[in-house]
Amino acid sequence: MKRFSLLPILLLTSISSYAQSLAYFTVKAGKVKRDNSIVYTTIGNLQKDSLLLEEEIDGKRREVPFSIQGTQLSWVLSGETLAGKERKYILSKGHGNKGTRMNSVVSGGHLLLEEGKQPILQYNFQTTPAPAGVDTLYNRNAYIHPLWAPNGVVLTNIFPNVPHMHHMGIWNPWTHTLFEGRETDFWNIQKKEGKVKWAGELEAFSGNVWCGFRATQDHIAFLSDGREKTAIHETWMVKAYPVTHNGERRLWDFSTTFTPATPSGITLLQYRYGGGFGLRTTAAFTAKTSQVLTSEGKTRKDADSTRARWVNIYGTTPDGKAGMLIMNYPDNFDSPEPVRVWPEDMEGGELMFNFSPTKMKNWQLSPGSRYQLKYRVLVYGGEITVEEAEAAWQDYVYPVEVTVEFAKQG
């Protein structure tokens, strides 16, 4: 069943000075210096159709954009907040418009995330045909492309060349698995053992602090008798946030939640790449025009088969300098995750990168159990420093602390 829904998230821009306060929030930076951190907190079952969030600074109030999904309130801790500092916010009743600036637009078989008219990334849920003259087995859906840097540089590539026509922007099939007694490869689709497909459900979210989507996908095994059988049910959740640093940087979050589809479960066998976070970069990123740097100081020359908390990939294209910092979450399987980084002599120096949680050991998925992998990506124009990359990872894994005090209602 194909299901689409747009879930509006509210921003209100006006309030009476006599508005009734509903809740007070204290945001603590903790031990980490904060730079435009994303704040999440729970507000319970408050009436959500007429609200305003303000920051209190030296006795004055400044209106703050916010988003609500369910009982979760989110906003951006704008600018820098030094370690050990606190900031105060007030949620009140108020009146204002319900417009949004972070939008999810479903059209023509894809879902586009954008801020205003600036594209962020595109999820392709309907099948993209392979280039003319290429075997139709490479037809593909359930991947992200393009991914744009804030300065407009496209950072991903699809259908790059033979023998790697199956590399599709950002995607994450498992390569070496044992499913019902048979080794099955969902990555190398030319082997005709398996494939990842969109499973028919898509939710799109729009708002003023984030936009995103939830999509269901299936790992489909091709059986020896010609039948297809679902081995893994998967759900992607993607959230993108507003640009910062004068329009030069943007964060977005990616998580995949998955469970075996049959009572026998499935074993994700140890292999040098697959699953996790797979990326084929723009063809403009070659060994001569781009660089790779990991949290452990490894480069493209020696990063492969090492572990990393984050990996920074950046370079020069005809449209400008840009890059992406890919961070893996500490709770991920076998984290800090091992990485697969193509050597410099692959295909004219072009680059494929993969956070591969099963690069070092097997991962047994039991029936009835749910598993999750989480990543955050910072896309940017120009360059970032090692210190900025490490600070972004610290902010991701050690989020701000929020305390809530609800006002008594008369």
111, pLDDT greater than 70 = yes
β-strand 51-57 against 86-93: which pairing, if any?
antiparallel
The 10s digit of each residue's pLDDT in 259-291 is: 999 999 999 999 999 999 999 999 999 999 999
12, pLDDT greater than 90 = no
pTM across the whole model: 0.93
* Side-chain-facing half-sphere of 313: CA atoms under 13 Å: 30
* Side-chain-facing half-sphere of 351: CA atoms under 13 Å: 29
Residue 209's pLDDT is: 95
The 10s digit of each residue's pLDDT in 120-155 is: 999 999 999 999 999 999 999 999 999 999 999 999
Q: How is residue 62 written in tokens?
A: 């400044």
**Percent of the chain at pLDDT above 90?**
89
Residue-wise DSSP of 159-207: S-STT-TT-BSEE----SEEETTEEE-SS-GGGSSEEEEEEEEEEEEEB
Strands in 102-107's sheet, in edge-to-edge order, are 102-107, 110-115, 118-124, 143-147, 170-171, 277-280, 352-355, 339-341
Residue 13's pLDDT is: 35
The helix or strand, by DSSP H or E, that contains position 230, with its residue range, turns out to be strand 228-240
End-to-end CA separation in angstroms for the chain: 47
CATH architecture of the domain 102-397 equals Distorted Sandwich (2.70)
Name every residue whose Cβ is closer than 8 Å to that of residue 41 and which is 6 or more positions away in sequence.
25, 72, 73, 74, 402, 404
Name every residue whose Cβ is closer than 8 Å to that of residue 348 and which is 6 or more positions away in sequence.
286
Question: In this structure, how many other beta carbons lie within 10 angstroms of the beta carbon of residue 134?
Answer: 13
Cα–Cα distance, 145 to 170 (Å, whole number): 7
List the beta strands (DSSP E) in 261-351.
266-268, 277-280, 290-294, 310-317, 320-328, 339-341
Where residue 410 falls among pLDDT bands split at 50, 70, 90? low
Residue ranges of the domains in the chain?
A: 9-96+399-406, 102-397
340, pLDDT greater than 90 = yes
Residue 346's pLDDT is: 94
Angle value at C-alpha 173, between 167 and 177, nearest 5 degrees: 130
Cα–Cα distance, 50 to 62 (Å, whole number): 17
Tell which CATH classification among 3.30.1600, 2.60.40, 3.30.460, 3.30.70 matches the domain 9-96+399-406: 2.60.40
Among 211, 210, 152, which Cα is nearest to 36's? 210
| Dihedral-angle region of residue 227 (phi above 0 means left; psi in -120 to 50 means alpha; beta otherwise) | beta
Residue 137's pLDDT is: 95
Strand partners, 401: 28
User: 171 — phi, psi (to 5°)?
Assistant: -155, 170
Cα–Cα distance, 355 to 351 (Å, whole number): 13
Where residue 20 falls among pLDDT bands split at 50, 70, 90? confident
